[in-house]
A and B are shown apart, each in its own frame.
Chain A
Amino acid sequence: MRLLPWTVYLTLAGALLSLAAGRRSAAAARWAALATAVAAWGVALLAGTRFIPASSLQTLTDLAWIPAMGVRYHLAVDGISLTLLVLTGLAATAGVLFSWNIEESTGEFFALFLTLVAGVYGVFLSADAILFFVFYEVAIVPKYFLIAKWGSTNREYGAMKLALYSFAGSAMVLAGLLWVYAAGSAHSFGFADLAQAAATLPRHHQIAVFALVFFGFATLAGMFPLHTWAPTGHVAAPTAASMLLAGVVMKLGAYGCLRIALPLSPVGFAYWQTPIAWLALVGIVYAGLVALMQEDLKFVIGYSSVSHMGFVLLGIAAATAQSVGGAVLQMFSHGIIAGLLFAVVGRMVYDRTHTRMLADLRAMPLYRLLPFAATVFVVAGMASMGLPGFSGFPAELSILVGTWKAFPAWAAVGALGVLVAAAFTLRAIQQGFFGSWPTGSAAAEGGARAHSLPPITLPEKAGALLLVAATVVVGLRPDLLLNWINPALQSPLLQAVIRGGTP
């Protein structure tokens, strides 16, 4: 447990190490990055085995940082953050494995990648709003460079759009936090102190503050209509960055909504609950329908991420213990599945066929050319549709059931979203991977050998198996994570907004 802050320190040190190793050789930088990612993940897993679930945040480090403002360097963990720490380690490790083929400025790539990961670890560990914010921004800046330098389609546009949306969102958060701190005469930026300070504000101020903080975070979580950065950013990003973006960074936004915005002002939440839920529902259905229409396979997955993050926001908005628990589980589940989907499309398929357009893919039988990729994509697709046995199932089920108990209408619309998700996933699987050579073409006669593609490499297989294993394990034993998550939902701060004592 005490070791958990070392996830941040190790990863930062690893960033410097791979920068230095990159001057020697690309291989050295890769191995340094892999060792770092595995070590930090190991720390998170080790802490998980020793973790004793409790309702309160368990402090790891607590030092005065800016005494004049009461800002503290306060790291703490509970079941929610531990779940996401484990996810971060997993996504980072898989991300390194899937960027094994980066040849241009390898050291710099992994240095930025690991800096981003360190920022994400830091956010999940922060128990002080300013510290949270600092780590949050540390995670934003490297994204810009990863996309602008190593990205593909329209990368400078995608990177700038993503950076500006993220920063505008975080500016709203900062404005809200400072407003509460100053107007409520808080003495520190601890979550409980801020909530107390917010409670002293007049009602309409609380509503405004809640809107600033919640929608600021929701921007990064991809909430409709603030989601437009996500598809373009995901498509432009290099594979590992897409995996992290969809897998972990969007979770930062949802985590901020849950950890900071919700407890900050129950009054503000009560006012905004219905609009948030409907925005989440519109996001689920709309993004799903858009995904159904896309011709670029990466855009399909980009919009599917927005749709699946809509479930997370729906679970948070419904604010029952079961739906919020499901939302955290969905964060974990979507982190793995989105990573897997992006890995197959961005790395396994695009790097070999140099196309992601469904029109081109329909004209080649990928299931014969790249059987491994096709298999993984089908498995990931099934998980993404929420089939039993995969992590998506318990997550979306408990969100919908939890929502049903409080707001049946929302759950009904959400269930419609599950259907749409099945439709766009099946379409992507069918058109992307089970095409056939155009009849009469040379390839059709010469067989697959004429068009043989480079085989799937070992790191790719390792990364894919890692993620598939995780989604199956959580799908079969969701209680592993729910046992961590549910006690954390009983904390006094969250109980002020969450209905229903025990799930």
Chain B
Amino acid sequence: MNPDYVALFNALRPETALVLGALAVLGLDMAIDRRRPVGERQRYALWVAAIAIAAAFVPAWHGPRGQVFGSVLVLDHLAVATRLGVLVLTMLTLGVIRAAPVRHPAEYIAVMLFAATGLMLMAAAQQLLLAFLALELASLSLYVITGIGSARPDAAEAALKYFLFGGMAAAFLLFGFSLIYGVTGSIELPVIAAQISVQGTNPILLVALVMVLVAFGFKVAAAPFHLWAPDVYQGAPAPSAALIASASKLAGFALFTRLLWPGFHAASGSAATFAGGPGWLPAVAVVCAASLLLGNFAALAQVNVRRLLAYSAIAHAGAMLLGVMAAGRSGPGPLFYYASTYGLATVGAFGVVTTVAISSRCEKISDLAGLYRRSPFLAATMTVYILSLAGIPPLAGFFGKLMVFSAALQLGGVAGPAGWLALLAIALSAVALYYYLIVVKQVLVADPPANSGPVAAPAATKLALGAAAALIILLGLFPGVILGLFQ
């Protein structure tokens, strides 16, 4: 291989912009007086970060396509779309930060940019080593911003829990990767794919696949690897939770879909019947069913908004796993549409919860009571997010479900397990409506508590929340916009 560093640099301009932005955030914070009020330092840091993301957006949109640097990176439809999605979701998260008083704003925002860098690399990585490094860059950054943003003890608990689970998952992933290297003799996905299709499956490869799936389940908060999610969503500063729930999930799905389908498709087993040799599809199907059932039923019992969002996230991870199973036949378009619009709604929901918390406690669902009186804007956007999560048309969440479920049903119709899972997911969406309506009822119908005043949202937060709601509505009315990226 003749290393083409110019092409590599060219392809990595968005990541470069993010890293330079992170350094500029830190540098600027050093340069101005650090004894200034936190709010002011936060404002400067946010401006620099926003410029960096905007600067990254242009090359991510117009940049080169195809294989880069041998086959270390691949910039195909999925990678380009995911990189854009990560940038948009991170940008929206910056707006959420404005409403959340974080302790060390410059460091917090810089680490968040590093996390975004890792997520962007995950989207494009096509080599096991780079995939692992990108995943770890993102994960370590996310552990940090779970812990440092807030002085609350449950933030520290959340960070520790996330770190311990994450470390375990990383160990599994690395062990799995090393077994795959041992079996196939390569860390490049195209070579691995070719090797597996020649060799067929063998027990060591299956062990390796299970280990990869463990890490996958952890990264996207799928049951039974979800145990960290409720505590992290509850304890972490809201912007961190928003990023973990949205961009991190999107990039996780992109990375593992790439590993599973182009990489290990020869070891997938049959999607229609699961007959014809063991593979990873049956395992994904089990995780999918577990996530759907556990997420939806556990969410029914929640009283804390953030824990509710966590269990809803687990349920949605189950639905997205259906999209992963269908990606081999229908392409990653439906999955990406689902994951990205889900991310928009989640960032928005966390943003509203954070903004309400500026003026009063916002932990229980009942703390949202009467939001329509306290801030019509927040109430309207929250309604859009929650109804989109519930899958009510014409919001984007509905079309995500529609496309993923119909793609899953096309895998051998209802005769196959994928079809049954799709029917299960549709049935459970009626269950899910109940807990989503509980939230919307508090927001729009219940009377506000006697001692509560209006909620004032910072302009940047309003902008981000408005943009997220508008995107959910527009992408719902014109779903072809995102699907067009995949054609």
Contact = CB atoms under 8 A, between A and B. Distances in A.
Interface of A: 64-69, 130, 133-134, 137-138, 141, 144-145, 148-149, 156, 160, 163-164, 167-168, 171, 174-175, 178-179, 181-183, 205
Chain A contact surface mostly: helix
Residue from A69, A144, A148, A178 with most neighbouring chain B CB atoms (10 Å): A178
Contacts of B207: none
B455 interface: no
A205 B414 contact: yes
25 contacts: A65-B479, A65-B480, A66-B480, A66-B483, A68-B483, A134-B393, A134-B394, A137-B393, A138-B394, A148-B445, A156-B441, A160-B437, A163-B433, A164-B430, A167-B433, A171-B430, A174-B402, A174-B405, A178-B422, A179-B413, A181-B409, A182-B406, A183-B413, A183-B414, A183-B419
B482 to A, nearest CB: 10
Interface string B393-409: 11000110011011001
Contacts of B426: 171, 174-175, 178
Nearest to A112: B444
A163 B434 CA distance: 9
Nearest to A141: B392
Interface residues of B, number: 32
Contacts of B399: 66
Contacts of B483: 66-68
Interface in B365-391: 387
Contacts of A160: 434, 437, 441
Contacts of B441: 148, 156, 160
Contacts of B348: none
Contacts of B178: none
B487 to A, nearest CB: 8
B28 to A, nearest CB: 43
A149 B444 contact: yes
A277 B429 CA distance: 30
Contacts of B398: 134, 137
A178 B427 contact: no
B421 to A, nearest CB: 12
A141 to B, nearest CB: 6
Contacts of A130: 402
Contacts of A174: 402, 405, 426
8 residue pairs, one from A and one from B, having the closest CB atoms: A183-B413, A182-B409, A134-B393, A168-B430, A182-B410, A171-B430, A175-B426, A148-B445
Contacts of B405: 174, 178
Interface of B: 333, 387, 392-394, 398-399, 402-403, 405-406, 409-410, 413-414, 419, 422-423, 426-427, 429-430, 433-434, 437, 441, 444-445, 479-480, 483, 487
B414 A181 contact: no
Nearest to A145: B444
A171 B402 CA distance: 11
A69 B445 contact: no
A371 to B, nearest CB: 38
B301 to A, nearest CB: 16
A252 to B, nearest CB: 15
B429 A181 contact: no
Contacts of B410: 182
A296 B475 CA distance: 46
Given A130-B402, A149-B444, A137 B480 contact: no
A274 B374 CA distance: 55
B319 to A, nearest CB: 13
Given A167-B430, A178-B409, A205-B414, A68 B480 contact: yes
Residue from B409, B422, B427, B430 with most neighbouring chain A CB atoms (10 Å): B430
Contacts of A66: 399, 403, 479-480, 483
B423 A175 contact: yes
Given A69-B403, A178-B402, 20 more contacts: A66-B480, A67-B480, A68-B333, A68-B403, A68-B480, A68-B487, A69-B402, A69-B406, A134-B393, A160-B437, A164-B433, A167-B433, A168-B430, A171-B426, A174-B405, A178-B422, A182-B406, A182-B413, A183-B413, A183-B414
B387 to A, nearest CB: 7
Nearest to A155: B445
A410 to B, nearest CB: 32
A253 to B, nearest CB: 16
Contacts, number: 86
A374 B311 CA distance: 54
A205 B387 CA distance: 32
Residue from B405, B410, B413, B444 with most neighbouring chain A CB atoms (10 Å): B413
Nearest to A184: B413
Nearest to B423: A175
A143 to B, nearest CB: 12
Nearest to A135: B393
A145 B398 CA distance: 20
A308 B419 CA distance: 38
B393 A175 contact: no
A163 B393 CA distance: 14
Nearest to A182: B409
A179 B414 contact: yes
Contact of B392 (A67, A69, A137): A137
Nearest to B373: A105
A367 B419 CA distance: 61
B422 A149 contact: no
Nearest to B487: A68
Given A134-B398, A145-B444, A181 B437 contact: no
Contacts of B433: 163-164, 167
A67 B403 CA distance: 12
A64 B333 CA distance: 18
A168 B423 CA distance: 12
Contacts of B429: 167, 171
A64 B479 CA distance: 11
A179 B426 CA distance: 11
A66 B400 CA distance: 12
A288 B426 CA distance: 34
Nearest to B330: A68
Residue from A65, A68, A145, A174 with most neighbouring chain B CB atoms (10 Å): A68
A164 B436 CA distance: 11
Nearest to B412: A183
A155 to B, nearest CB: 9
Contacts of A164: 430, 433-434
Contacts of A141: 387, 392
A410 B316 CA distance: 47
A175 B413 contact: no
Contacts of B427: 171, 175
Contacts of A168: 430
Contacts of A134: 393-394, 398
B445 A145 contact: yes
Contacts of B414: 179, 183, 205
B376 to A, nearest CB: 10
Contacts of B437: 144, 160, 163
A386 to B, nearest CB: 36
A17 B264 CA distance: 55
A69 B480 CA distance: 10
Given A68-B480, A181-B406, A182-B406, A133 B393 contact: yes
B312 to A, nearest CB: 16
Nearest to A156: B441
Contact of B409 (A65, A67, A68, A183): A183
A168 B403 CA distance: 19
A174 B441 CA distance: 25
Contacts of A67: 480, 483
B252 to A, nearest CB: 24
Contacts of A167: 429-430, 433
Nearest to A149: B445
Contacts of B479: 65-66
A66 B393 CA distance: 14
A148 B393 CA distance: 20
